[in-house]
């Protein structure tokens, strides 16, 4: 059985993985779409995911999650 710390570690790592995946996906889609409005929206979504990733990384550092 996992400890509470291990559960939190796994949860943070999974969230970080998902944010990285989505940022890459949004970047890829924004390059494939020609409509400037949708490109901008996807770029903003990519940046939001990158910001979330950064926030998660900082939080993980505070809690010694590697």
State the Cα angle at 55 between 26 and 40, rounded to 5°: 25
Q: Each residue's pLDDT tens digit in the chain (66 positions)?
A: 999 999 999 999 999 999 999 999 999 999 999 999 999 999 999 999 999 999 999 999 999 988
Q: What pLDDT, on the 0 to 100 scale, is given for residue 19?
A: 99
> Do residues 19 and 52 lie in contact, with contact meaning Cβ atoms separated by under 8 Å?
yes
Q: What pLDDT, on the 0 to 100 scale, is given for residue 16?
A: 97
Please give the model's pTM, rounded to 2 decimal places.
Answer: 0.90
């Amino acid at each position: 059985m996992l400890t509470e710390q291990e559960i939190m570690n796994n949860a943070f790592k999974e969230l970080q993985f998902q944010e990285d995946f989505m940022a890459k996906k949004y970047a890829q889609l924004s390059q494939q779409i020609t409509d400037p409005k949708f490109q901008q929206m996807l770029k903003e979504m990519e940046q939001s995911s990158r910001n979330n990733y950064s926030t998660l990384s900082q939080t993980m550092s505070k809690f010694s999650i590697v």
